């Protein structure tokens, strides 16, 4: 079945450093890739998304890249701040089943 | 502009009981998806409703059922509750036109004793 792998499971960086989270999807027909940020006890919040006809998208300190050939997509956060600390989930949508499949999450800790 | 709202926020049940969770989609959205999020895991897709019909379903048993009303709100019903059903149940709404972003509600925390 469809699968999304996400690495690393935990990531600790110093304030001001960059953070990169990587995901791999199995269904080559997937065509939409959102990223969600979930703070403890709160809802997942959409922070950025990318569609399969685009290779890169940027929004201020956040960027996402997509490599359709390798079925990889990554989240890049620059100039990290303590308020970036949260669990980040990647997801892949589309393909044969039209379901949104989530990765297992990355706990990002930004040390002040 | 109201976002996705879910009720109740917390619920405690015992094994074997039945539960109904409710969701109102974001204004302008007509598609509702339900997810189960166990502690420390990513959301798992349960099913999606559009035009009052179940359009997609994940790998969940028939004990999980749902409904969508003409005003696009939705209910998730779980029968014969098991301890393993303890989780955060999230509702997300979206537009069905193409691959539109899904916006989540705050969820219902269900605890089974």
Per-residue pLDDT of A50-108, as tens digits, reads 998 889 999 999 999 999 999 999 999 999 999 999 999 999 987 766 788 999 999 99
Q: State the DSSP H helix or E strand holding residue A79, giving kind and residue range, or none if neither.
A: none
Return d(Cα B87, Cα B36) in angstroms, integer: 6
- Cβ-in-10-Å burial (0-12, 13-18, 19+) of A77 comes to buried
Report the pLDDT averaged over residues B6-25. Answer: 97
A35 touches chain B (CB under 8 A): no
How much is the pLDDT for B68? 97
As a whole number of angstroms, the distance between CA B71 and CA B80 comes to: 28
What pLDDT shows up at residue A41?
86
Is B43 in contact with A44 (Cβ distance < 8 A)?
yes
What is the rounded CA–CA span in Å between residue A23 and residue A4? 7
- Residue of chain A with shortest Cα separation from B109: A41
Least CB–CB distance from A31: residue in B41, B42, B99? B99
B79 Cα to chain A: minimum distance (Å): 24
B106, exposed or middle or buried, with CB in 10 Å at 0-12, 13-18, 19+?
middle
- Identify the residue with better confidence: A21 or B51: A21
Judged by CB atoms closer than 8 Å, whether chains meet at A36 and B104 is answered as: yes
pLDDT of B95: 85
CA distance B74 to chain A (A): 18
For residue B69, the distance in angstroms to the closest alpha carbon of chain A comes to 21
């Amino acid at each position: 079945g469809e699968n999304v792998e996400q690495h690393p499971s935990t990531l600790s960086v110093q304030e001001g450093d960059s953070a990169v989270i990587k995901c791999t999807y199995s269904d080559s027909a997937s065509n939409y890739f959102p990223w969600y940020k979930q703070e403890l006890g709160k809802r997942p919040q959409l922070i950025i998304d990318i569609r399969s006809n685009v290779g890169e998208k940027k929004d201020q300190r956040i960027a996402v890249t997509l490599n359709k050939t390798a079925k990889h997509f990554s989240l890049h956060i620059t100039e990290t701040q303590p308020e970036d600390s949260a669990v980040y989930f990647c997801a892949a949508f589309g393909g044969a089943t039209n379901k949104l499949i989530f990765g297992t999450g990355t706990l990002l800790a930004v040390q002040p | 502009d109201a976002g996705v709202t879910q009720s109740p926020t917390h619920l405690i049940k015992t094994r074997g009981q039945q539960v109904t969770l409710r969701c109102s989609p974001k204004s302008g959205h007509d598609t509702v998806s339900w997810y189960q999020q166990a502690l420390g895991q990513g959301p798992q897709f349960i099913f999606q409703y559009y035009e009052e019909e179940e359009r997609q379903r994940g790998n969940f048993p028939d004990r999980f059922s749902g409904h969508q009303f003409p005003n696009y709100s939705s209910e998730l019903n779980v029968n014969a509750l098991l301890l393993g059903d303890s989780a955060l149940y999230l509702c997300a709404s979206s537009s069905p036109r193409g691959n539109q972003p899904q916006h989540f509600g705050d969820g219902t925390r269900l605890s089974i004793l």
